[in-house]
Chain A
Amino acid sequence: MALIRALMLLSHEGPISQIKYNRDGDLLFSVSKTPPAMVWRTDTGMRLGTYEFGEKSAISCLDINKDTTRLVTGSAGNMIRLWDCETGACLQTVTTQTSVRTCEFSSDGQIIFYTTDAQRKISPELAILTLKQFEGGAFDYIAQTHITDSKVTAATWGPFDQHIITGHENGSLRFYQADNSAKRVQVLRNEQIHKDTVTDLKMTSDKLFCLSASKDFTAKLSTSDRLENIKTFNTDRPVNAAAISSLRNHVIIGGGQEAMWVTQTHSHTGKFEAKIFHVIYEQEIGRVKGHFGPINSLAFQPDGRGFSSGGEDGVIRMHQFPEIYYDFEFDRFKFDR
């Protein structure tokens, strides 16, 4: 056992919606349901800057390009914003029909996709934009399609950016691929992996597997070429966030009761800890306490030596693993006996 201390980043006024490390792991970006978006230094926990929004709409997603020069955010104010990471200046905006749910840069940082929610009679949308024109002023839609059956709740680029892997409200995972000539996206594969809404979707660092978290109390690891479910991590709570270590065979899973029930229960029973699971044995091996509300977003440090969690309580907690984390060996002979 070891005692560790987390760094608590306290500036956000609303519940944290997403946190992400940049590729080198020296900066942590965070967005919450109340603007602005923020960036933090991960070594000291110092707040480096804020990205100021004009309006007061909830920010739901963010992404950073690989060389940490551009930040993209999507908000409930029907707006995609592109930022300069260093100065905090807003370079460009794209207005969408409805509130934005997910957005992400491609590996080269030249293309982004975004998905939107359903609102009134407008069905959810999946669109891919090229960024070169985007920055110049006029942007170019590579593809734009309305998804009529089930809205996208989580999405990420697949291997080699060939397609987009999406998680849906009905629990399915899908491949969408752009059809350049028709300027549309089409479904390549549709697998019913979960029983309830998919809340988070992460790729391993080699992009061979994707980890999906769901409100059906599980997180599942699937292959990213055929969407075959290979591992299941069972918990006793709705899972809101998951992350995969690049260093060891561990995944970390966070969640808890829905925010609407939190006031009625004690923080002990709310099950707000982050759980560490062994990927291969699908067994829980550790818990990290701290949040007073459900965890909404989790991110492993790119080097796998720590992780951060952002909660409904508006706090981001940055953890560094103690020495015992690296010494731990799963008792593999237990099953042989």
Chain B
Amino acid sequence: MNAVNDRLPRLLALVPYLLARPGIPIEEAAADFEVTPKQLRRDLELLWMCGLPGYGPGDLIDLSFEGDTVTVTYDAGMSRPLRLTAAEATALLVALRALAETPGVVDKAAVQRAVAKIESAVGQARPAGVAVGLAVREAPETERVRDAVSDGVRRGRALRLRYYTPSRDEITDRVVDPMRVLLVEGRGYLEAWCRAADGVRLFRLDRIDGVEVLDEPASPPPHATPTDTSEGLFHPDPSQRTAVLVLEPDARWFAEYYPIEDLEELGEGRARVRMRYSDTAWMVRLLLGQGGEVHVEQPPDLVEALVRRAEAALRRADHLPST
């Protein structure tokens, strides 16, 4: 966030904030405004110089400091914060409405009460123009998995998962220490410390085939940090390999689903792209299903593996059994 443009909104909010909390430690106030205590002190010194025309001792904002705490003794008429802007009201209310419509996140009634109170407080700043549906497309079995997993998170218990890993096409059992359930881009994930992998992992809920809430407590190690979702769930890994693909017009959707780089238009709707992948077997599986709408140019071992597997599949399909 831009520190320069944040200062005036903070200055306008500070006096009413302190009025509502007489004797608050400066450190606590700084944390609420997400600035350093040093910056907050500078803000307070500035406010101390402001006031009403006349600008005499009785006209200026007055603060009293005691130890590391602060109290407003004269507010110069700035007793309430400024209204929410349309953008602020939209960001908050749209998010609240989205939460209200999502089962298992928070108490729906509490969200609706919060929405009603904030709507009536913001007055004319009506939100409009943004809507968010958090609902995910999930099968009934996934819903049951989500309930069980959320239960484990809530009660702080370790979980035994039966998990399908598509890159290796295998199902394995493992014990994990759950941290939270994430809903991102229309999919549900369990974020947990995986004891076998010795690291934080995201497990797609629709790939969990079985879940058992254990009696032992969940104990992710202190250095297990939540995934930063702001740059996407999966970060390019320098150890990954890169394939060069040419997408036919009908396969342009590919670019919306997979991590592609350097899109080069070839005309008539075709495009050459680079795509990162970590597992050749997974990549071969993906490409087999594209029916020639995706051409593979590089690397040679990927091309070779693809050809070998496609030929073997065709040979076997042609040996139709006598049924």
| A and B found bound together | no
* B contact residues vs A (CB 8 Å cutoff): none
